Structure 1
Amino acid sequence: MRSRLIPAAFTAALVAFALTACGSSDEGDSKSAAVASSTSSAPEADPTEEWLTAARTTAAADWPEDAAPADHEIALYPDLWCAELSKGHSVGYLLDTKQGEFYPIGETWGTQIDTARKLVVAAVGVACPELKDQVTADLREAGVY
């Protein structure tokens, strides 16, 4: 009887030790995970979604729901505008309806000039913030900012 008691006691001690070791390991892992999650940065916002939200908010009065542009119609404006501004063109050039390539207008929707200027500022803030000073200076010089 004594020979059966020792292996049973040994097995119980071994199981208890294993459970204790597992518990401390889990606790350590959860602490490590908590530290990792608190030090990791939040995911960056999607620039396209950020632009679409800003554009719709800025142009809400100009773009009623029944005559609003589709996302694909306005999604490319920030990249187009930033490329032209990087070449040294002005906001006035972008929004000159005579050249007509960069003014935010479609077949079934339009934008007032004041709103279009605000859209350029919003687009620059999202897509090429390094050009914001150039844009605001240009608009100030034109007396519209």
Structure 2
Amino acid sequence: MTRTLAAAAALVATLTVAGCSSDSIDGAAPGPVPTVAPTEQFINSVIDAHLDSYASGVPAVPPADELEAFPPKWCDALAAGHSVEWMLDDSDDLYPVGENWGTEKADAYQLVVLGVVAYCPRYSAVVKKELREAGAY
């Protein structure tokens, strides 16, 4: 009996130090952490932002297949060392505009932030810093 109590105490101490919860002791594996695809995260965040550029559009944002083409390109440009200013002012294909829709500059800055957060969050701090310093965020 003493050996059983000692073994149980050792097990509890080990689990406590390891940070295990009582849920993992009963044999139930923790469930998977839900993830959202970058495309879905981006489009949902654009809808939630209620950007003035898209206020009169139906639906509330441009076609997802057109809009979601931009964030991967923005991430590539950032990886190549380009700034947000360069992407939106000097690049021919990185300004968020489509066949039947456009984006005001202030909203374009917000779109870049939303896209970077969803697709390449490692650049979000540098993007936000650049836009803050420019007075655009």
Contact kept, 8 Å, 1:59 with 1:111, in 2: the verdict is no
Residue 122 (structure 2) pairs with residue 130 (structure 1): yes
Superposed CA RMSD in Å reads: 1.9
**SS at 1:119's partner residue?**
helix
TM-score, normalization: structure 1? 0.67
**SS at 1:95's partner residue?**
helix
Query: As a proportion of its length, which structure holds more helix?
Result: 1
Higher Rg: 1
How far the C-alpha of 1:137 sits from its partner, in A, is: 1.5
Residue 49 (structure 2) pairs with residue 55 (structure 1): no
Alignment match, 1:93: 86
**Change over 3 Å in CA distance of 1:68–1:136 after alignment to 2:** closer
How far the C-alpha of 1:94 sits from its partner, in A, is: 1.1
Alignment match, 2:106: 114
CA distance in 2, matches of 1:50, 1:67: 15
Identity of aligned residues (%): 35
Alignment match, 2:67: 74
Contact kept, 8 Å, 2:47 with 2:60, in 1: the verdict is no
Query: Which amino acid letter does the alignment assign opposite residue 139 of structure 1?
Result: L
Aligned residues: 110
Contact kept, 8 Å, 1:62 with 1:112, in 2: the verdict is yes
Gaps of 5+ in 2: 1-25
Query: Which amino acid letter does the alignment assign opposite residue 112 of structure 1?
Result: E
